[in-house]
């Protein structure tokens, strides 16, 4: 392999263990493995988290869910995203749970459940202030009553998502959303509609607010050892939340060539950078096709023999160039760390995110899913 991802099994298990202790034994834990488990590998990650105590899995799409079922996973799976009407037969076939907020979806699920002679379980999506998927309480009640037309469909749960719980230390808006969710659930229950599993908490909410836990929590980014944001870290510290997250992912590659170049020699496309003095460079077989962001051109670093090595010039589609003049005794196919630890040095997802103006979620999730994921 020219490039690969190593997944630290113990770090993943440790992160889950900490959150299990935080929520207690009565509350279920959903491990969110959508988008290739935030870049960590869907099947590989799912198997570990289930063995580590996850009660449910959360995905975005029907295709992710089917992959998990075909891999032999029988754990309850909730599809958090939209499923096309034409694909709803597979919800019933593979015993999946679906997030719902439209009568069209309910109509088709009802038909498919009757046709296949099975029950299907749905989770209502409550709109509380994110302005994305979901219904506000009056429309939600109308949909819940509509579902009663289909005896094969059971309302198993209801959930919402916070718009601003992790990007701030002022959680006023999140608390308003929590109250709106409670009101919506109250309206349903006062009309005789039971909601067995209520869930609202993402990683930040799990850490910061016990009142968001309800019957189940949805553990996402922090399961992978990453903080939702600096603000979440600060808020957790202020609340004396003792939790230590261990990054799970290390991204590696190998040196495929080294060469010496003279001062003034331009590097890579566009001649955007010239070396200031006689230098030694290394060629790495990784580029933006692999998910290594082009905006790291000229500003990113990699680790070789525990030393930081600057990226020179533009990151290309399938390769990039780094300065190795300060690293001694480099061999062909020397191991390189693009993201993670090597020796005493570390390149964190947050560092890369800051340099390219994004969030750590995007850094790890956009790593090409075709790159092999290896458990270590």
- Residue 65 CA neighbour count, 13 Å, CB half: 28
Query: Do residues 141 and 98 lie in contact, with contact meaning Cβ atoms separated by under 8 Å?
Result: no
Residue 254 known to be catalytic: no
Beta bridge partners of 259: 281
The residues facing 311 across adjacent strands are 322
C-alpha 170/C-alpha 155 separation (Å) is 34
> What span, in angstroms and rounded, lies between the C-alpha atoms of 113 and 96?
12
Residue 78 in contact with residue 99, Cβ under 8 Å? yes
Question: What are the tokens at 283?
Answer: 């060629």
Q: Cα dist. 363→19, 181, 249, 302, 339 in Å?
A: 23, 31, 11, 15, 10
8 Å CB contact between 6 and 338: no
Q: Are 144 and 155 in contact (CB under 8 A)?
A: yes
> DSSP assignment, residue 38?
H
Token duo for residue 199: 């869930």
Which one of the listed residues 118, 148, 269, 274 is annotated catalytic?
Answer: 269
Does the active-site annotation cover 20? no
As given in the structure block, the two tokens for residue 355 are 């340099």
Q: Find the catalytic residue in 34, 198, 254, 305.
A: 34
Among 130, 117, 69, 132, CA closest to 97: 69
Query: Cβ neighbours of residue 28 under 8 Å, at least 6 residues apart?
Result: 55, 56, 197, 215, 216, 217
Cβ neighbors of 202 (< 8 A, separation 6 or more) are 161, 162, 165, 166, 218, 220, 228
Task: Report, as residue numbers or ranges, the catalytic residues.
Answer: 34, 269
């Amino acid at each position: 392999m020219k490039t690969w991802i190593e997944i630290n099994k113990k770090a993943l298990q440790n992160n889950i263990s900490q959150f299990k202790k935080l929520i207690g034994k009565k509350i279920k834990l959903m491990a969110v493995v959508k988008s290739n488990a935030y870049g960590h590998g869907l099947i590989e990650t799912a198997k570990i988290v289930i063995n580590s105590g996850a009660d449910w899995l959360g995905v975005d799409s029907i295709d992710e869910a089917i992959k998990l079922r075909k891999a032999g996973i029988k754990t309850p799976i909730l599809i958090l995203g939209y499923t096309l009407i034409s694909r709803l037969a597979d919800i019933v076939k593979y015993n999946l749970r679906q997030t719902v907020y439209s009568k069209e979806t309910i109509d088709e699920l009802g038909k498919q459940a009757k046709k296949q002679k099975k029950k299907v379980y749905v989770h209502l999506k409550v709109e509380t202030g994110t302005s994305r998927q979901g219904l506000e309480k009056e429309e939600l009640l109308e949909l819940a009553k509509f579902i009663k037309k289909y005896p094969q469909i059971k309302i198993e749960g209801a959930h919402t998502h916070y718009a601003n719980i992790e990007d701030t230390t002022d959680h006023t808006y999140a608390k308003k959303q929590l109250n709106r969710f409670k009101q919506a659930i109250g309206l349903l229950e006062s009309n005789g509609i039971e909601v067995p599993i209520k869930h609202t908490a993402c990683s930040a909410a799990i850490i910061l607010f016990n009142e968001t836990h309800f019957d189940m929590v949805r553990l996402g980014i922090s399961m992978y050892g990453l903080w939702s944001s600096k603000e979440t870290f600060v808020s957790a510290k202020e609340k004396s939340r003792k939790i230590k997250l261990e990054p799970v992912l290390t991204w590696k590659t190998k040196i495929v060539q080294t060469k010496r170049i003279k001062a003034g020699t331009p590097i890579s496309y566009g001649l955007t950078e010239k070396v200031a003095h006689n230098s030694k460079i290394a060629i790495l077989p990784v580029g933006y096709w692999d998910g290594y962001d082009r905006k790291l051109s000229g500003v990113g670093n990699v680790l070789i023999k525990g030393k930081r090595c600057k990226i020179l010039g533009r990151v290309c589609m399938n390769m990039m160039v780094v300065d190795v003049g300060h690293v001694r005794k480099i061999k062909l196919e020397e191991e390189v760390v693009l993201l993670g630890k090597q020796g005493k040095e570390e390149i964190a997802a947050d560092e890369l995110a800051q340099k390219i103006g994004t969030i750590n979620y995007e850094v790890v999730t956009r790593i090409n899913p075709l790159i092999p994921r290896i458990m270590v």
